[in-house]
């Protein structure tokens, strides 16, 4: 893979053309990495171990490498991707999932409450780029997380492995997830390793129950608890937020004016030379209704 971020080079549907899609899918290194990331996402998804197949969503499914992990766990899945070349490779490989061509930044278009869980590998950070003049990252993040929240069953989880470019981008993604109604946070595996470090956005659809907890990130054996007091708190093992949907600002009722406000206005009128009634004990007193 190129050391430069692909999302900074071209839009996904252009970057992953026929040649790049075939190269990506034929790389044994990529296949191994995708399998590891997908397994970890499934672990964080924490589906009930009851043998019942679930309907899962794979956002940015590409050529179906991550979907193979879902199939191996016995689940049905729907894959969404914006790159037609990637989906063509997935069809050639005869993956088990149902494939959809679409832009997650325009919303998912799925029926409410039908998805039992969602994963995404290295895809959500693409929404932070304005690849077209009509793209506004904030609106695209809002559309994606809003539609994802609606299509998930209540209590279901979504686990997204992401490569945020910086802390601000991580907070932007997490912030719009919280605004959509999700609870959760960021789980960081191997936070002190430049090579093994991985970030996962772990979200719960609706308020978390008392029994549900956000899982911990993985750490190396030599990493001690002393690291928890390091200056860079954003890079700790777990950066969790159980925030809920922000409350709407209450509208201030400006109809009711107190005595102080009335006296102030009268004084201003006097300074302008206007004739104003004298102040009395009845000034600004509320009158009884006349019948």
Is it the case that residue 13 has pLDDT exceeding 90? no
For residue 251, pLDDT beyond 50: yes
Digit-coded pLDDT (tens) for 136-152: 899 999 999 999 999 99
List, in order of start, the domains of the chain with CATH numbers: 6-241 (3.40.50.150), 256-291 (no CATH)
> Model confidence at 283, in pLDDT bands (50, 70, 90)?
confident
Which residues lie below 8 Å from residue 183, measured CB to CB, with a gap of 6+?
203, 204, 206, 207, 208, 242, 243, 244
Q: Which of 44-48, 71-75, 279-283 has the lowest mean pLDDT?
A: 279-283
Check residue 211 and give its pLDDT. Answer: 43
Q: Is the pLDDT of residue 213 over 80?
A: no
| pTM value > 0.75 | no
- When the pLDDT of each residue in the chain is averaged and rounded to a whole number, the result is 83
Mean pLDDT is lowest, of 59-63, 172-176, 208-212, 268-272, for 208-212
**Is the pLDDT score of 287 beyond 90?**
no
Residue pLDDT, tens place only, 17-40? 899 999 999 999 999 999 999 999
Q: What is the pLDDT of residues 170-196, one digit of tens each?
A: 999 999 999 999 999 999 999 888 888
What does the H/E/C string look like for the chain? Answer: CCCCCHHHCCCHHHHCCHHHHHHHHHCHHHHHHHHHHHHHHHHHHCCCCCCCCCEEEEECCCCCHHHHHHHHCCCEEEEEECCHHHHHHHHHCCCCCEEEECCHHHCCCCCCCCEEEEEEECCHHHHHCCCCCCCCHHHHHHHHHHHHHHHEEEEEEEEEEECCCCHHHHHHHHHHHHHCCEEEEEEEECCCCCCCCEEEEEEEECCCCCCCCCCCCCCCCCCCHHHHHCCCHHHCCEEEECCCCCCCCCCCCCCCCCHHHHHHHHHHHHHCCCCCCCCCCCCCCCCCCCC
Q: Is the predicted pLDDT of residue 226 greater than 80, yes or no?
A: no
**Distance in angstroms (rounded) separating the CA atoms of residues 180 and 203:** 11
Instruction: Give residue-wise pLDDT tens across range 115-127.
Output: 999 999 999 998 9
């Amino acid at each position: 893979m190129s050391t430069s971020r692909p999302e900074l080079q071209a839009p996904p549907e252009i970057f992953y053309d026929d040649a790049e899609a075939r190269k990506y899918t034929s790389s044994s290194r990529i296949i191994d990495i995708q399998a590891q990331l997908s397994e970890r996402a499934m672990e964080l998804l924490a589906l009930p171990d009851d043998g019942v197949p679930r309907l899962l969503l794979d956002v940015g499914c590409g050529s179906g490498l991550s979907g193979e992990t879902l199939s191996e766990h016995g689940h049905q899945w729907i894959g969404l991707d914006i790159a037609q070349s990637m989906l063509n490779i997935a069809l050639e490989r005869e993956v088990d999932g149902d494939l959809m061509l679409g832009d997650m930044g325009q919303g998912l278009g799925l029926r409410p409450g039908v998805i039992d869980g969602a994963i995404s590998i290295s895809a959500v950070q693409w929404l932070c780029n304005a690849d077209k003049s009509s793209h506004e990252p904030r609106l695209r993040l809002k559309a994606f997380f809003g539609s994802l929240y609606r299509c998930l069953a209540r209590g279901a989880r979504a686990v997204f492995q992401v490569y945020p470019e910086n802390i601000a981008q991580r907070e932007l993604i997490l912030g719009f997830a919280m605004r959509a109604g999700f609870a959760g946070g960021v789980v960081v595996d191997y936070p002190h390793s430049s090579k093994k470090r991985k970030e996962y956005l772990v979200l719960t659809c609706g308020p978390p129950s008392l029994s549900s907890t956000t899982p911990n990130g993985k750490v190396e054996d030599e990493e001690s608890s002393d690291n928890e007091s390091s200056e860079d708190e954003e890079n700790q093992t777990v950066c969790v937020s159980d925030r809920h949907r922000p409350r709407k600002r209450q509208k201030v009722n400006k109809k009711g004016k107190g005595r102080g406000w009335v006296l102030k206005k009268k004084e201003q009128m006097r300074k302008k030379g206007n004739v104003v009634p004298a102040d009395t004990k009845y000034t600004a007193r509320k009158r009884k209704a006349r019948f």
